[in-house]
């Protein structure tokens, strides 16, 4: 068999809003990998990341290549300059990344709240993701 470990990031509180990507990658994720390597008696792990976890996995593998044997990434945002991505399209808006000052948002709020990110995903396809599921009910 294959032992599978899953990270549940939980629900961040307001006290977590100033955590950085370094805190997550070099802190939390790196600690998890160290524990997994210790428990499995392996020097390297196979790391799988989905969506934002895929982006985290790519970053982690580039920072700690000596700890990653295999990297599997699924539906992960990588190139944030492409049109039609989460940062560049809001409900059909084509103004581009300059339409929203992400740095200003982070300065004001800390990390972007999950509810905001969920809303952004809904706005990529508002009809299909927001209402279609109710219209399809027989």
C-alpha distances (whole Å) from 120 to each of 59, 73, 126 are 23, 22, 9
Write out pLDDT tens, residues 20-69: 999 999 999 999 999 999 999 999 999 999 988 999 999 999 999 999 99
| Eight-class DSSP state of 12 | -
**Is a pLDDT exceeding 90 seen at residue 19?**
yes
Report pTM: 0.79
**Is a pLDDT exceeding 60 seen at residue 91?**
no
Mean pLDDT across 108-119: 85
Write out pLDDT tens, residues 37-47: 999 999 999 99
Buried b (16+ CB within 10 A) or exposed e, 105-119: eeeeeebeeeeeeee
Q: Which of 64-78, 93-107, 108-122 is the least confident region?
A: 93-107
Report the percentage of the chain scoring pLDDT > 90.
49
Active site residues: 51
C-alpha distances (whole Å) from 36 to each of 12, 51, 52, 127 are 23, 22, 21, 42
Domain limits of the chain? 1-78, 79-133
pLDDT greater at residue 130 or residue 107: 107
């Amino acid at each position: 068999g294959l032992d599978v470990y899953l990270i549940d990031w939980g629900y961040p509180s307001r006290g977590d809003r100033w955590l950085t990507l370094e805190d997550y990658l070099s802190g939390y994720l790196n600690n998890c990998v160290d524990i997994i390597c210790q428990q499995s008696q392996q020097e390297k792990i196979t790391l799988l990341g989905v969506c934002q976890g895929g982006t985290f996995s790519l970053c982690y593998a580039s920072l700690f290549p000596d700890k990653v044997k295999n990297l599997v990434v699924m539906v992960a945002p990588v190139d944030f300059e492409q049109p039609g991505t989460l940062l560049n399209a809001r409900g059909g808006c084509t103004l581009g990344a300059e339409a929203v000052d992400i740095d200003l948002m982070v300065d004001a709020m800390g990390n972007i709240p999950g509810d905001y990110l969920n809303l952004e995903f809904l706005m990529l396809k508002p009809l299909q993701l927001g209402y279609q599921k109710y219209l399809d009910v027989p």
